[in-house]
Amino acid sequence: MALIVQKYGGSSVGTIDRIRNVARRLMDTQAGGNEVVAVVSAMSGITDKLIGLAHQVMDDPPERELDMLVSTGEQQSVALLCMAIADMGGKAVSFTGAQAGICTYGSHTRGRIESIAPARIITALQEGNIVVCAGFQGMTPGGEIHTLGRGGSDLSAIALAAAVKADICQIYTDVDGVYTCDPRVVKNARKIPVLSYEEMLEMASSGSKVMQARSVELAKKFGVIFEVRNSMNNNPGTIVQEENHAMESLAVRGVSIERNQARVTVSGITAPVAYTALILTALAEAEINIDMIVANTAHDGKARQSFTMNMNELGAAQAALKNVLPQLGAEARLETEAGLAKLSVVGVGMRSNSGVAATVFRALADAGIPTGMIATSEIRISTTVEASDIEEAARVVHEAFHLEREN
């Protein structure tokens, strides 16, 4: 008998028919001789709708009340799912995050999980129930409801899987798994059967929207093996686990793309050496997330520094940097460029295979695609390109590494 945690995202429970589909799947899993814990998101669109309602009432709603409101989305779906199971003759019980024993700390709307006391879940399982937990929420020791940040049901599922020592955590979504590239862009992209935590992390934070990056970090920390699967079929998905030797044989496992990127450049800097600290502090104080950083000094001795960020942070970044410009020198000025995209190749095999960067940039050059800023980690190479070039860029790089081939 295995203990299985299954997480169903908003699209998987988006209609009553789909809720029945999930109920059936949970019952089938239990009938196969397993203990089953489900973690469920709000029906698709509900979280956004609730946030929208709040903003109709006032511009800047108190975060405590936002948590109170938004956490009801998951309470609806867990209750409806248990009703669907009851209607099919099964036995299920729903729990809020607090009832499931999820204890949180930190700030409202971005709570963090402190600990999980799964005693009630274990008892309910022993009584023969399918246990259905609300994702994306928990409670402080003082009794305040927290939500865990957008996409936080993934985090709830991984944390619960660790707490109940599940044999596997299955993340059900509306795609068959993690692909070598977005199949809408690269027609012959393939599903990747096994990925390492590191690769999944790099892909999640470089544009592959399959899973929240924080949850992958947690899974890695606690060694929770998880599988990304499709809730509408029974195809095997992508298993994410500790790195092994076989994964290193391929230099590149996948190509991620991220649109809506912008670049800001501060040029003409004549201030003393601490200018990078000045600039980064101004951006950090404005809570702006920057991605790539490039700095250099021109032959006239003036320095330039460029950053990339998401398009929707551009306005705030400009405002924050305007304030520090006078400290950077009399001729310091800001240039911005919108309409960029980022292409990344990811693979643990990059550590031991040389020539990966050369292959990426040769493929792009042969296709006549200009590249901009470049950033690398041990297992990732990223470059910016014009937004209008990103799809072609993904196709030629995917092809250059023969990712369409079975290996």
Q: Shortest Cβ distance from residue 277 to ligand ASP (Å)?
A: 34
**How would you list the strands of the sheet with 92-95, edge to edge?**
92-95, 130-134, 35-40, 3-8, 168-173, 226-230, 238-241, 194-196
d(CA 320, CA 303): 19
* CB of 154 or CB of 313, closer to ligand ASP: 154
d(CA 87, CA 49): 28
| Site map (CB under 6 A) of ligand ASP, residues 118-147, x = contact | -----------------xx-----------
136 binds, among ligand ASP, Mg ion, none (CB under 5 to 8 A by kind): ligand ASP
By CB under 5 A, name the binding residues for Mg ion: 9, 151
Three-class SS state of 322: helix
Q: If you write DSSP's letter for every residue of 190-259 in order, what string do you get?
A: -B-SEEEHHHHHHHHHTT-TTS-HHHHHHHHHHT--EEEEETTS----EEEES--GGGGGSS--EEEEEE
173: left (phi over 0), alpha (psi -120 to 50) or beta: beta
d(CA 254, CA 202): 10
Q: Which of 4, 42, 80, 360 binds ligand ASP (CB under 6 A)?
A: 42
256 binds, among Mg ion, ligand ASP, none (CB under 5 to 8 A by kind): none
Q: Which of 96, 153, 173, 231 binds ligand ASP (CB under 6 A)?
A: 153
- Asked whether position 73 contacts ligand ASP by CB under 6 A, the answer is yes
Stretch that binds ligand ASP, among 148-156, 166-174, 179-187, 316-324 (CB under 6 A): 148-156
* CB of 154 or CB of 291, closer to ligand ASP: 154
Stretch that binds ligand ASP, among 149-157, 174-182, 239-247, 357-365 (CB under 6 A): 149-157
135 binds, among Mg ion, ligand ASP, none (CB under 5 to 8 A by kind): ligand ASP
- Asked whether position 14 contacts ligand ASP by CB under 6 A, the answer is no
- Asked whether position 10 contacts ligand ASP by CB under 6 A, the answer is yes
> How many other β-carbons are positioned within 10 Å of the β-carbon of residue 31?
10
Q: Shortest Cβ distance from residue 179 to ligand ASP (Å)?
A: 21
202 binds, among Mg ion, ligand ASP, none (CB under 5 to 8 A by kind): none
Contact 67, 87 (CB under 8 A): no
363: phi then psi, degrees, rounded to nearest 5: -60, -40
**Radius of gyration in angstroms for the set of CA atoms belonging to the chain, rounded to a whole number:** 23
Q: Which of 41, 71, 109, 170 binds ligand ASP (CB under 6 A)?
A: 41
Q: Shortest Cβ distance from residue 99 to ligand ASP (Å)?
A: 18
